[in-house]
Amino acid sequence: MTENIRSLTVTSKGQVTLSASARKHLGIEQGTTLIEVVVGNCLVLLPQNTIMHQLRTEAADALRRAGVKPEEIIAESDRLRETRFNERYPGIGND
């Protein structure tokens, strides 16, 4: 476990340099967005693409288990968008 622990120094601009081995292991490249999470007195950095992929997968699995199809979500979203538009701009939409 201690081989995965490294100290980082914060620059005057608040920047840190991640080790090449950590970047390679996590697929972090120049321009990768990290999500910053403060937990108690700890700072956790998570690659956004990994988190978003995991969230998409979990959401898709939950919808599948609930028997909801993507087409149903799209149709409901379109219906709600049209309703909201008609409420905000009466007489402009296709009432």
Q: What is the pLDDT of residues 10-40, one digit of tens each?
A: 999 999 999 999 999 888 999 999 999 999 9
In a domain, 80, yes or no: yes
Domain containing 60 equals: 51-88
Cα dihedral 55, 57, 58, 60 sign: positive
Question: pTM of whole model > 0.85?
Answer: no
In a domain, 79, yes or no: yes
Instruction: Please write the tens of the pLDDT for every residue from 65-89.
Output: 999 888 888 899 999 999 999 999 9
In a domain, 64, yes or no: yes
For 5-91, where are the E strands, in sequence order? 34-39, 42-47
Question: How many other CB atoms are found less than 10 A from the CB of residue 86?
Answer: 14
Residue 4 has pLDDT above 70, yes or no: yes
In a domain, 60, yes or no: yes
In a domain, 6, yes or no: no
What is the total count of domains within the chain? 1
């292991």: which residue's tokens?
A: 25
In a domain, 42, yes or no: no
In a domain, 39, yes or no: no
